[in-house]
Amino acid sequence: MKTLVVKCFLLLALVCSCRAADSIWQLCNTNSNISASSQVSKNIDSLLATLVSKTPSKGFMTTTSSSYNNKEKVYGLAQCRGDISNTDCSTCIQDAAKKIREVCPNQSDSRILYDFCFLRYSQENFIGKLDTGAGLIYFNVANVTETDPKKFDNELGALFDKIRSEAVLPKSKGLGKGKTKLTPFVTLNGLVQCTRDLSELDCAQCFATAVGSFMTTCHNKKGCRVLYSSCYVRYEFYPFYFPLDPTKTGPSVGRISSVHLSP
């Protein structure tokens, strides 16, 4: 059973920024506290250095770091969004590795998500396991007015059926993206991505859970992002994935609400 906590704030929509300077979700497990001088903490630093150096070349990396005692072993994963460059991937992973140690300095189970990348580590082996236990939803508080709700639901569903089917194919590496015309002047843009350690079945299951929020929390909203440790889904009325359409721009300011998902 998931509990929901809602809060509202203003979010600046910088569509063309190539540096994701601010994290959009971070989680520090307070049940995994460690001391800054512990061997586990040193293993985390070593693991982060490996992720920073090796993730950008392929956009994805899993690794472990341990000393003589396996009780101090740490598992790590980093992944960049599949539509960005190696350079932007490198920048994002560097930012994530630095920020996660600042916000979760004494936790061995931590994760952080940026627009362009995701990074996670834990003493428990989470690699290859589906995780939708905790997450976050962002949605535009404005309702869709460009078309009737039923047509919007149908177009949104059809678009995400298509890009989810694309994403689970091995060649897609967990990424699916696409767009559809709602009217001659309004385009709906969508993107999905799951972490590349998941099986095809687990990836599809994660997407199904996330997209389910489109008909509940985000129903008839002009934009929505559902974030889990294992996958990420998003739709907007402006282009946000690469390559961007130079003839289109996003809203300068939109009022966004967020909903925390917890086990």
Q: Where are the domains of the chain?
A: 25-122, 135-261
**C-beta of residue 136 within 8 angstroms of C-beta of residue 259:** yes
Share of the chain above pLDDT 90, in %: 82
Q: Quickly state the pLDDT bin for 171 (edges 50, 70, 90).
A: very high
73-103 CB burial, b ≥16 within 10 A, e <16 = bbbbbbbbbbbbeeebbbbbbbbbbebbbee
Do the domains 25-122 and 135-261 sit in the same CATH topology, yes or no? yes
User: Collapsing DSSP states into helix, strand and coil, what is residue 234?
Assistant: strand
| Fold classified for 135-261 | Killer Toxin P4; Chain A (3.30.430)
Q: What is the pLDDT of residues 90-148, one digit of tens each?
A: 999 999 999 999 999 999 999 999 999 999 999 999 999 999 999 999 999 999 999 99
What is the pLDDT at residue 254? 59
Q: CATH second-level architecture of 25-122?
A: 2-Layer Sandwich (3.30)
Listed range (79-88, 198-207, 213-222, 236-245) with the worst mean pLDDT: 236-245
Task: Look up tokens 């996660």; give the residue.
Answer: 100
What is the pLDDT at residue 13? 30
Q: Among residues 140, 22, 126, 17, which one has the least CA distance to residue 77? A: 126
The verdict on whether omega for the bond into residue 184 sits within 30 degrees of 0, i.e. cis, is: no
pTM: 0.88
